[in-house]
Amino acid sequence: MEAMRPRPIPLPLRGLLIVLAFGTAPLVFPSAAFRIAMGDVVPLLLLGIACFLCCRNAFDSHGHTRLFWSLMAFGMAMWWFNQAGWTWFEVVLHKPLPDPFAGDVVLFLHVVPIMGAVAIRPHEADEKEGTRISALNVFILLVWWVVVYAFFVFPEEYLAPDIPVYTLRWDLLYVIEGLILSGLSASAYFSSSGWWRKLYGSILVASVLYTIASEALNAAIARGTYRTGGLYDIPFLVALLAFLWVAWSGRPGLHETEIKPSIPRSRHAFAPLFAQLALLSLPVMGYTALFLSHETPDLRRIRFGVSMGGVAILALFVFIKQHLLDQRLMQLLDRSRMSFDNLQRLQGRAVQQAKLASLGELVALAAGELEDPLSAILESSDRMAASSNLTREQLTNAQRIGQQARRTHELVSDLLSFAQQTPGEKVPLELKPLLQRALQMEGFKLENRNITLTVDKMDSVPRVVGNSNQLLQAFVQIVENAVDALQETGGGRLQVAAWRESEEVVIQFADTGPGLHDPERVFDPFYTTKPVGKGTGLGLSATYGVVQDHKGQITCFNRPEGGATFEIRLPTFRAGAAMPASARA
């Protein structure tokens, strides 16, 4: 019998055990050195684990979700760096932390990437837009907070040291950061659903706990009652465990970025808005420092220089952001134009197919009704022309009636052939022999006509699935039309080429003739520019139907240097594709 495996302890319970162990450690180990070591090393380990989990989530995700976890990892890494400084002084060097401490700058800024992660709203982001603009907005916020720190805190920290003023301003700004993070988390929580709602709820709880714990801890430091490893570190550890839970629980939903239709999209109201407000606030700060402040002239000049330097840096970032927005706008315009062109082509194909379908039914009915009367007229006119009792005028009229009846009969035959087109059996075939046959069939008629037919290399053209007779008929029709056009100009050249383009074979017929009078109507039934009696206008319509039956496309256009070009695109044959039984045989 297999032994029962013990159930693993859930992560929240393990975290609670760590907190309880940390809280009772001073009772079991009253040594001050041990309490300091516990107070520094345990948070350092928790932050390291949280940073590792966020990095893993970022590595396994993509798009805005990857940016979200990358910013979370960046914030945790900055937090860990500050905690490592505390550990170095108090545990390794056994010295009290200096005041002011250089790591306070990193601690002050570590909340900004987390704010940016929540502000970009990955659950609402459109991944097609990319992440560069979102990342730039967060970077603008980070630079702004650096400027704010250099404006309000840094002068009293190092230039004109004033520890009470420095501590007050640092604590006030840090509380504001915590409140902003809590507000952003609350807004994201109420505007999301599903898994992301749970994640934002965890971030909200963690940010509120951390704001309260850090404010209590900073107040104790200001009063001089804080000792590392004391009771003030317990709520701080609880907040750390809350952020650790955010990183741990975020893994199952790395790819859940779909937009819920019932949730209004509001992601553009945070990070870009904050970036704009940040840029607008700096001139106000500079004006206040230079004209409304009662500090010494040196401090006023320093604060004004910091604000103006921040304006210059943020203006550069705004320029880069505008450049990225212009690029994205151009990409959207290109996609819109391509979509519009594709829509027009699809609409044209649908209209053309509808024309051919309705016209085929009408033509079949009319041609069937005309077949018998024409046969009777032809038979009667031939019998009259063979009679010897007619005068010369009567014989001429009978022959003329027979000629016109035969011409009408040929037209009716063309109509029936057009109306009764049926899909033929399709097999894998080579296009090169069919093109060569089409050119040879027409080449026999070109003696002493000053018309040349040239063929480009077609050695690497793959096979297509089609009906050889139908495709040959389509190629012959296009070549005949090109030859007729070249005869109008007294000669010229028809160049035929074929090549592979992605998963299609492109066949191009380019001539040096007079060009097309109306390329939009070339494939319309009964449209022709030839003289009366020379064409019915159904050849290219039938060719259009053949190409459509082969899942291809046919287009035509006039070349800039003169002449017309017909282009046929057919899908290539893929080995292993489903084929009819006769084709496989």
**pLDDT digit string (tens) for 313-339?**
888 888 888 888 788 888 878 878 877
Which tokens hold the place of 24?
Answer: 């009772």
pLDDT of residue 472: 83
| Per-chain mean pLDDT for the chain | 78
Number of domains in the chain: 3
Is residue 351 situated within a structural domain? Answer: yes
The CA angle 17-23-28, to the nearest 5 degrees, is 105
pTM: 0.60
The CA angle 565-571-577, to the nearest 5 degrees, is 165
Which tokens hold the place of 14?
Answer: 């393990």
pLDDT tens digits, 388-436: 677 777 777 777 777 777 767 666 665 555 555 555 577 888 888 888 8
Is residue 584 situated within a structural domain? Answer: no
Is residue 582 situated within a structural domain? Answer: no
pLDDT tens digits, 128-182: 556 777 788 888 888 888 888 889 888 888 888 888 888 888 889 999 999 999 9
State whether residue 464 is helix, strand or coil. Answer: strand
Backbone phi, psi, residue 489, to 5°: -100, 10
Weakest mean pLDDT among 24-33, 210-219, 460-469? 24-33
Among 408, 411, 375, 372, smallest CA distance to 383 is for 375
Is residue 568 situated within a structural domain? Answer: yes
Is residue 241 situated within a structural domain? Answer: yes
Q: Residues 415, 549: one domain?
A: no
For residue 265, pLDDT beyond 60: no
Percent of the chain with pLDDT over 70: 77
Q: Residues 364, 492: one domain?
A: no
pLDDT of residue 553: 87
DSSP assignment of 232-267, as one string? Answer: THHHHHHHHHHHHHHHHHTGGGTT--PPPTTSPP-G
Range of the domain at 31: 11-254
Q: Residues 401, 495: one domain?
A: no
Q: Which of 228, 254, 280 is the last residue of a domain?
A: 254
pLDDT of residue 111: 92
Is residue 546 situated within a structural domain? Answer: yes
Q: Residues 508, 391: one domain?
A: no
Strands of 412-535 (E only): list them: 427-429, 451-455, 464-466, 492-501, 504-511
pLDDT tens digits, 441-457: 776 666 656 777 877 76
Q: Which of 384, 419, 454 is the last residue of a domain?
A: 419
